[in-house]
Structure 1
Amino acid sequence: MKMINLKNVALIFGLILLLPVTTTAADSNKSETTWPGVQSSFHSFKQYDFQIEELNCRLVIPNEVAAGKPWIWRARFFGIEPQTDIACLENGFHVAYVDVAGLFGSPAAVERWNTFYQYLTTEHGFHKKPALEGMSRGGLIVYNWASANPEKVGCIYADAPVCDFKSWPAGKGSGKGAPKAWLKCLQAYGMTEDEALAYKNNPIDKLQPIAAAGIPLLHVVGDADLVVPVAENSAIIEKRYKELGGSIQVIHKKDVGHHPHSLKDPKPIVDFILKNVQP
């Protein structure tokens, strides 16, 4: 009777352990296992904080990833009035965020967004057209990035958004303004105040590429907003976008100021996002 060579058995077993593991389609939906960084919790969903190319990034993972890996891209104030983000997570969306604080939608901020978009879509197969969520000063980056990348946007949800930095933080209209933030804004753009006041490349000025791409817009505004006055921001966007043939809906909150953002029941916002970010 031929004896089994134990050395050969051990060698074969070792080779088997080195073989690559086949990933199934079901496994690919468990994207939370592939994320680096620090794990925490966002309203019971797994949140990861990590860096790519020295950028501070954040991602919240849905329990069940929807087909096509859709996502909503939060521009600023992560976690403030989170009801829309939570509802999107419940519908299988990821919630993504990259830090652009202090950049006021400047070219440097747009470049950060370019890097993050490339990372999520090419390395992790995210949907090519996310929903952009711009709250307050976040309106500057969502519109500036969308106008530079109109083919990469599913829709824009803007909440009491800054659409012209001459309105806020400059305060050159009826709004209160923010002198310290205005100085930081000038530094971010590398401009003098005279140059900034003559600047014609704010979101209100460059809607044509967004309209040409057929990107639907939803704004939620407080009619009593004294910080980011509707007349100097969302009302101008609405008028000009309609003139360009674009689709825009504005939800007005009567007797409400700049805060609180969003809606107590975010269903109209969520329905808008689900309708316009398709697999």
Structure 2
Amino acid sequence: MKKLLMTVIICICSIQIITAQQDTPVATSTYPGEPFDFFGYDARSFTFAGRPAKLAFPREAAPGNPWIWRALFWGHEPQTDTALLRIGYHVAYIEVADLHGSPAAVEVWEQFYKYLTTTFSLSPKTVLECFSRAGLIGYNWAARHPEQVACIYADAPVLDIKSWPGRKGPVSAKNDKGEQKKLWEQCLQAYGLSEQEAMTFKGNPVDNLKPLAAHRIPLLHICGMADEVVPYEENTGVLVKRYHALGGTVREIKKPGVGHHPHSLTDPAPIVQFILENNRER
């Protein structure tokens, strides 16, 4: 009888230990990369595919390990990122600005996505956050992998290389001061295009919206209506008309103002609400 009782006690203790181990989060010291503080949250900086990368961790991950992919400009106007961290989202980033959304950039993103979803078990679907020129890589990757995208939040996004950095559109050409010449040359090299070929190039985000519309991916665009750097008329304005024609939905927040495009919102609540509405299952 004593032996039986002892066996039961040992079994109960073993179950409690196993359960405790399963409920205990992985110690942050085991995360790869160099630790740093991201607005009060634990984050890691590391190199992936020869490029700088970062990942910020919530204090407690929401069910399914949801995440937002900050396409470029880590830490700029971070209020949406920190609001999502607060409710259990991860924030990921890899630097590909020099590739201007070209197929080489998409390939890097494909590798990074696989790394994040396997190594850290992040959700199979991500939320994309695309500021300015990040619209190129965000939308080009999404068009290739729409099944991996829950929704897209784009902020004054570049959606056509002719507009930026080319400055070849009707509005952008008027404000061209030659400051983007080196970036335009870099962009053409990344795509393997001559300037003449770029004028008829159909690999821009505005040209490849069918896969996104077919998967009913919701879009939120925030734009300054007097933006001279990334003109609304040449970018978001074109996307909205074409996406609606394909049966897609775009929510717009238009901001008055002059000069360079002002990003984000002081209060990110509308952005966060959009993301949560369209990523509920994650």
Verify same fold: TM over 0.5. Answer: yes
Whether contact under 8 Å (2:228, 2:261) holds in the other structure is no
> What is the aligned counterpart of 1:113 among 109, 113, 117?
109
Unaligned runs of 5+ in 2: 1-17
Describe the shift of the 1:63–1:235 C-alpha distance in structure 2 as closer, same or farther (beyond 3 A).
same
**Number of aligned positions between the proteins:** 258
Alignment of 1:26-45 (within 5 A): 26-27=23-24, 29-30=25-26, 32-45=28-41
Counterpart CA distance in 1 for 2:107 and 2:36 is 27
Q: Distance in 1 between matches of 2:93 and 2:50?
A: 14
Q: Which runs of 5+ in 1 are unaligned?
A: 1-20
Matched, 1:235 2:237: yes
Distance 1:53 1:102, change over 3 A: closer
Aligned counterpart, 1:269: 271
Cα 1:191–1:125 shift into 2, 3 Å: same
Contact 1:43 1:86 in 2 (8 A): yes
Q: Which residue of 2 aligns with 1:181?
A: 183
Give per-residue Cα distances to partners, 1:94-143, cap 9 Å, x unaligned.
00001102110000100010001001112221111110000000000000
In structure 2, distance between residues paired with 1:160 and 1:53:
28
1:222 aligns with 224
* Shift in CA distance, 166/31, structure 1 to aligned 2, threshold 3 Å: farther
SS in 2 for 1:156: strand
Kindly indicate whether the alpha-carbon contact (under 8 Å) linking 1:217 and 1:248 is maintained by their aligned counterparts in 2: yes
Provide the C-alpha distance between the structure 1 equivalents of 2:230 and 2:164, rounded to a whole number of angstroms: 6
CA shift, 1:256, in A, is 4.6
Of 147, 159, 164, 1:163 maps to 159
Partner of 1:65: 61
Return the match for 1:136 from 126, 132, 138. Answer: 132
CA distance 1:199–1:66, change in 2 (3 Å): same
Question: Within the alignment, does 1:213 sit opposite 2:215 as a pair?
Answer: yes
Quick check: 1:218–1:250 contact (8 Å CA) kept in 2? yes
Measure the CA separation in 2 of the matches of 1:40 and 1:100. 21
Give the whole-Å Cα distance in 2 for the aligned partners of 1:92 and 1:203: 30
Give the TM-score, by structure 1 length.
0.89
Instruction: Show the counterpart of 2:81.
Output: 85
CA distances 1:171-223 after superposition (whole Å, capped 9, x unpaired): 01111352111011011111111111110110000000000011000000000
SS of match in other structure, 1:24: helix
TM-score w.r.t. length of structure 2: 0.88
Comparing 29-38 with 238-247, greater Cα deviation is found at: 29-38
Q: Runs in 1 of length 4+ with deviation above 4 angstroms? A: none
**Secondary structure, in 3 states, of the residue corresponding to 2:217?**
coil
